[in-house]
Structure 1
């Protein structure tokens, strides 16, 4: 009876078959924790059981199989074995003990085989190719299998060597919106770039032209103006290039920039003109996209022209600002995206940056958001003020209720105190310290305010010593 284990160890399925009764039942633990095992569940009949063993043999090589203990009683036996297996694709190995209950029929053939215990180490070996199987399921568009593999720990950010793409980027390029949503929900990184051209998942989805997938990625936080480091292409440039006017329309609605350049010398508009000239097919789609670009340009010009409050702030015209606020101008209205210095800034951000002290007071008194952030550097008005050495504006801002003294910018993780010290503005730094700004925050470069101050002023400067004393 126990020779069947020798046949299994040798991969001799013919020998295994000869040891099985025609109506044999093979029962292996089932359920989510055993989903990786190709022979889990109940298998009925000789052919089915041999198929279960064949599936297992396709994935792992049995390096060692020993019978550790046998307890027999009549036609039944409890067998304890030690097995060592290796995954044929990944090379992952594990050794473990397993026990099984076997019973024989009158001819001495195995009629019932029940595995009593499975090892977590064994399941880990079979799961060692999860990432490869996830990629295969993505390419097959099998959303159910994708979900099952993600629940078992497959990595949506696994990078395929041959393509340089993560699994999420592959799904995006295939236009599988449901699959992309599942990958994002499981931690897929919408900001990661492929290792060959530097495109993001959004670039890949745009190239495919699937608007549903594009929406999933943008709503998950993908940067609309992400730039591929090889070409300089943004998703909008790719949408124009691949002739997807509906995608162009959507990206323009999401404030995609028009004033950007490729890395090979073309502006976006020049790149588009080139495409118009060299394409002999699909020009009708390009012409639709051209109309969309022209409409967006006119809308930007109109929006900028209607921003009378921002214009007055930029000019430093206190009287005009006062009058516009009195007439109900939107105090936190954002400037349109023109790929300029004021893109998506509020008037307070600009006034704080440009040193318009009295205008800052007027805007704050009118209810301006003292913690408004701009998307270019991820800075707040306090960053703008101290970065440019405006100590009077710094004093005004730190006294406002609800001010966040310690907001860390998205670009470098610097707080306003970091910025003041970085640019050597001692007075601004002292205003912040007196207001209670934290001195222990760390920027993305690992530097505290003390580190920055030491570099800017030297170790013996009184301000540096004060910071050191604060710990």
Structure 2
């Protein structure tokens, strides 16, 4: 065991070599079997050199990794505590990142154990990495967009692995990283960004188009499929133009993209913000384009086929027709014939789009038909895509207390389903529209009173606004 004074002298020499950048001197102070601990975690994983390094060669590799990215601009030893063959050294270093020149002041605490030969056998370094993490983070972010534009998927993955922000924007174009990659038709890069947490729904800061709009403009089906698989809205509307991805696919003459979006039930009955319907916009394109007109004609055929298909699907939905007509006898007959009880209406940009018969019957107040559909096993929690509402929302929103009671008593009904549009539960909706009888049915069935809508309001808040603060319901909801 080395004595305290001997250890102190060895430590002073070692840290003088560190300050001078004398790598040979530092390595010469290490035992051939030295173990270096440079602990890391998920927060600072982007800093090179973390981990456990064994042997002099491992120590040397750690130093190489560190010095490959940073220089020590200033080094100050703040204190040494020595006890026999063990020492703890506190230092302050000003580190400069070589790529961008960013500076990071950092305090280090190094624990050293010396062996009989006066060489370090164990070294552990701990420090507050926040300044260095911020330094790497800022400079890593700066590397992401150039890597995306170069199409280097491996480099993109490496940079994302170093915690670059996948939702950063280009200051000049207003595009997010994902929108940039989508516009380039880089499907692999798009998938890597999505895996790293990129938001597929964000709009660009100038025109508001989503990544799906950009991919459609490029015409790359692989990229489009990746975005749709990640939940991109097929009918997302750009706020400046009103264009949906399908409108852009028609505009940019990509019939294969048109075909794919039509398979996904992209809406045909939507309008631009400058007065054209989708069909009028397409007719305009047909008239003004000469080059590539054969692609437009191919798309025109696809639109016609989809329209005919929707018409056939609507005609075949005889159960929905009976529900819409309020014809209970016809509903019984269609169910007896084996009509699918939860078949959804085609998307034609109408009031029944993607609705099941039960959703429509609850909305339209057909109590006897609701009984028939429930007896046939209709899905009591089927939601429609427009408002994200379930049958119970439809019933209470329109004040149908008898139907509300039927649904509340049906096995499996989710009394507290929160709609996608505003986060309101059926109880919120009943109170919002002033239907006290519907609200009381829900409360008697055990509906929760503590859930909060997207506007931050509880059912009690809604009741106070609708009925007045002194109404008995308000007091009951507050208990």
Alignment TM class, shorter chain as reference: 0.7 to 0.9
1:191·1:222 contact (CA, 8 Å) conserved in 2?
yes
1:231·1:262 contact (CA, 8 Å) conserved in 2?
yes
Identify if the C-alpha distance between structure 1 residues 162 and 30 changes in structure 2 by more than 3 Å, giving closer, same or farther: farther
Q: How many residues align?
A: 436
1:36·1:126 contact (CA, 8 Å) conserved in 2?
no
Question: Residue 162 in 1 paired to residue 181 in 2?
Answer: no
- Residue-by-residue CA offset, 1:410-442 (whole Å, 9 max, x unaligned): 000000010000000011111111111111111
2:38·2:124 contact (CA, 8 Å) conserved in 1?
no
Residues 43-442 of structure 1 mapped to structure 2, 5 A cutoff: 56=70, 62=73, 64-66=74-76, 82-85=92-95, 89=100, 93-97=104-108, 117=125, 119=127, 121=129, 123-129=132-138, 130-442=140-452
Question: Residue 452 in 1 paired to residue 467 in 2?
Answer: no
Query: What's the TM-score, normalizing by structure 2?
Result: 0.81
- Residue-by-residue CA offset, 1:371-398 (whole Å, 9 max, x unaligned): 1100000000010000000111111111
How far off its partner does 1:464 sit?
1.8
Secondary structure of the equivalent of 1:259?
A: coil
1:39·1:53 contact (CA, 8 Å) conserved in 2?
no
Secondary structure of the equivalent of 1:231?
A: coil
How far off its partner does 1:135 sit?
2.3
How far off its partner does 1:178 sit?
1.5
Which position in structure 2 is the counterpart of 1:112?
none
Cα distance between partner residues in 2 of 1:164 and 1:303: 42
Secondary structure of the equivalent of 1:96?
A: strand
Query: What's the TM-score, normalizing by structure 1?
Result: 0.82
How far off its partner does 1:185 sit?
1.6
Secondary structure of the equivalent of 1:284?
A: helix
Secondary structure of the equivalent of 1:175?
A: coil
Secondary structure of the equivalent of 1:371?
A: coil
Secondary structure of the equivalent of 2:171?
A: coil
Secondary structure of the equivalent of 1:93?
A: strand
Identify if the C-alpha distance between structure 1 residues 396 and 94 changes in structure 2 by more than 3 Å, giving closer, same or farther: same
1:37·1:56 contact (CA, 8 Å) conserved in 2?
no
Cα distance between partner residues in 2 of 1:134 and 1:307: 51
1:39·1:56 contact (CA, 8 Å) conserved in 2?
no
How far off its partner does 1:96 sit?
2.9
Cα distance between partner residues in 2 of 1:339 and 1:177: 30
Cα distance between partner residues in 1 of 2:89 and 2:381: 70
Identify if the C-alpha distance between structure 1 residues 133 and 318 changes in structure 2 by more than 3 Å, giving closer, same or farther: same
Identify if the C-alpha distance between structure 1 residues 420 and 52 changes in structure 2 by more than 3 Å, giving closer, same or farther: closer
Identify if the C-alpha distance between structure 1 residues 52 and 185 changes in structure 2 by more than 3 Å, giving closer, same or farther: closer
